[in-house]
């Protein structure tokens, strides 16, 4: 009989009568480094210290893992201060199963074991955080973590693979064309050919990016090639999508406890205002004051219910765990089209995911506790 599938560690924490140790991992190598630091500041302030012991670990922009002070102040993103991970004490979770130890390597001191890590909460977006790579490392280490596993994280990071999963599940997606790196380098004219059938405008996007980085709206076929080259700077695999005319609405999904079904939130809506942006681009997301989040969105109840139902279906089809934000277009002619799933959605208190859950009955500290609790319920080892 194999015992490798048993959640023994969760029981051990209770047996030992100590608080679970939660490692908050943030920063990272992607373009969202500063945003991630700012999210960590919020989580450090809000996490329930009566329930959890906390160890902050920063991933520097060059990829080094560093032990951080348990202090939100320097991590706060303001107009005057762009935070980043700095430090000189390396902190590593060795990628071998069994001990789940956090090893620290202070300068001029021998390495030592700092603590056992019970749960990792990765507050990382994009490549090397949200894409299954970090999750793979934690699987090797038999360490529990908040959010989706390797496969769902990797597939939902790749907009081309994501659409294959959605289509197979019978979920509504728009028309699109994928251009791989080799297709583009082999014969540009042949790669461009099927795009004509999509009409204009189209959206050109890197397959594996986020925050609208590299996403370009093209209204004139003459601009298509330049837009593809621009997207290729973020990822050599590119998607071209027919433009969808509609409202952008988003639903938060939380995994169910035990064998329960996932839970879906109230629906939020993104409205881009002013005439500086033709869509929800990077500047509208982070820099200008031109994006408005409305929650709950003003929608007929039947439409909101359908979005919730289909969001759970998408969450399950993708094999997501923990949390996900499912993003939709509600078209001017009344249809729902699935845009994407984010397995680690924006998580500051003013981000859409925490806001829609606040409307649905989980304030920010309770949402953090719920996510950690879901992660602790998980099995480790072969599943
Ligand atoms: N097919 C489309 N039709 C209309 N707008 C789109 C389409 N695809 C993307 N957009 C716009 O571009 C934004 C970013 O695209 P998205 O696919 O969500 O990329 P990211 O992963 O970077 O958020 C969307 O929020 C939306 O405003
Ligand atoms: Mg998006």
Q: Above pLDDT 90, what percent of the chain?
A: 81
Stretch among 128-132, 279-283, 331-335 having the lowest mean pLDDT: 279-283
Are 237 and 297 in a shared domain? no
Are 36 and 142 in a shared domain? yes
Residue range 107-130: average pLDDT?
A: 94
Identify the H or E element spanning 95. Answer: none
pLDDT of residue 8: 45
> Closest Cα to residue 100, out of 64, 150, 141?
141
Are 124 and 107 in a shared domain? yes
- CATH number at 314 reads 3.30.470.20
pLDDT of residue 4: 42
Are 119 and 23 in a shared domain? yes
Domain hosting 262: range is 156-172+244-343
Q: Is residue 189 part of a domain?
A: yes
**Does the structure show a pLDDT above 50 at 304?**
yes
Residue 284's pLDDT band, with cuts at 50, 70 and 90, is: confident
Measure the CA dihedral 344/350/353/357, to 10°: 140
pLDDT of residue 15: 56
Q: Is residue 379 part of a domain?
A: no
Nearest CA owner, ligand 1 atom 9: 203
Are 294 and 337 in a shared domain? yes
Nearest CA owner, ligand 1 atom 1: 243
Of 242, 265, 298, the residue that ends a domain is 242
Each residue's pLDDT tens digit, 217-270: 999 999 999 999 999 999 999 999 999 999 999 999 999 999 999 999 999 999
**Does the structure show a pLDDT above 60 at 1?**
no
Answer yes or no: is 366 a known binding residue: no
Q: What is the 3-state secondary structure (H, E, C) of 364-378?
A: HHHHHHHHHHHHHHC
Asked about 211 being catalytic, the answer comes back as yes
**Does the structure show a pLDDT above 80 at 7?**
no
Stretch among 9-13, 47-51, 88-92, 108-112 having the lowest mean pLDDT: 9-13
Whether 330 lines ligand 1, by a CB cut-off of 6 Å, is no
Are 57 and 139 in a shared domain? yes
């Amino acid at each position: 009989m194999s015992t490798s599938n048993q959640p023994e560690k969760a029981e051990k924490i209770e047996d030992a009568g100590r608080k679970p140790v939660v490692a908050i991992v943030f920063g990272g190598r992607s373009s969202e480094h500063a945003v991630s630091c700012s999210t960590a500041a919020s989580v450090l302030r809000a996490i329930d210290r009566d329930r959890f012991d906390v160890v902050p670990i920063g991933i520097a922009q060059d990829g080094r893992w560093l032990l951080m002070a348990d202090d939100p102040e320097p991590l706060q993103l303001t107009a005057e201060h762009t935070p980043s991970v700095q430090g000189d004490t390396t902190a590593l979770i060795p990628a071998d199963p069994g001990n789940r130890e956090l090893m620290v390597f202070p300068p001029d001191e021998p390495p030592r074991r700092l603590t056992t890590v019970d749960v990792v909460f990765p507050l990382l977006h994009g490549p090397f955080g949200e894409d299954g790579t970090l999750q793979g490392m934690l699987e090797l280490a038999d360490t529990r973590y908040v959010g989706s596993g390797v496969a769902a994280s990797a597939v939902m990071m790749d907009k081309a693979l994501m659409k294959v999963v959605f289509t197979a599940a019978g979920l509504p997606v728009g028309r699109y064309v994928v251009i791989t790196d080799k297709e583009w380098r082999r014969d540009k004219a042949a790669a461009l050919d099927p795009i004509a059938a999509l009409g204009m405008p189209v959206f050109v996007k890197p397959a594996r990016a986020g925050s609208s980085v590299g996403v370009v709206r093209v209204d004139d076929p003459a601009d298509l090639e330049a837009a593809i080259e621009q997207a290729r700077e973020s990822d050599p695999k590119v998607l071209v999508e027919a433009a969808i005319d509609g409202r952008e609405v988003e639903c938060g999904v939380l995994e169910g406890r035990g064998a329960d079904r996932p839970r879906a939130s109230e629906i939020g809506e993104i409205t881009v205002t002013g005439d500086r942006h033709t869509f929800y681009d990077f500047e509208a997301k982070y820099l200008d004051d031109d994006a408005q989040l409305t929650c709950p969105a003003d929608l007929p109840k039947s439409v909101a219910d359908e979005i919730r139902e289909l969001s759970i279906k998408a969450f399950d089809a993708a094999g997501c765990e923990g949390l996900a934000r499912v993003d939709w277009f509600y078209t001017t002619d009344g249809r729902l089209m699935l845009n994407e799933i984010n397995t680690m959605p924006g998580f500051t208190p003013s981000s859409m995911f925490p806001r829609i859950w606040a409307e649905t009955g989980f304030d920010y500290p309770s949402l953090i506790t719920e996510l950690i609790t879901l992660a602790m319920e998980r099995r480790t080892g072969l599943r």
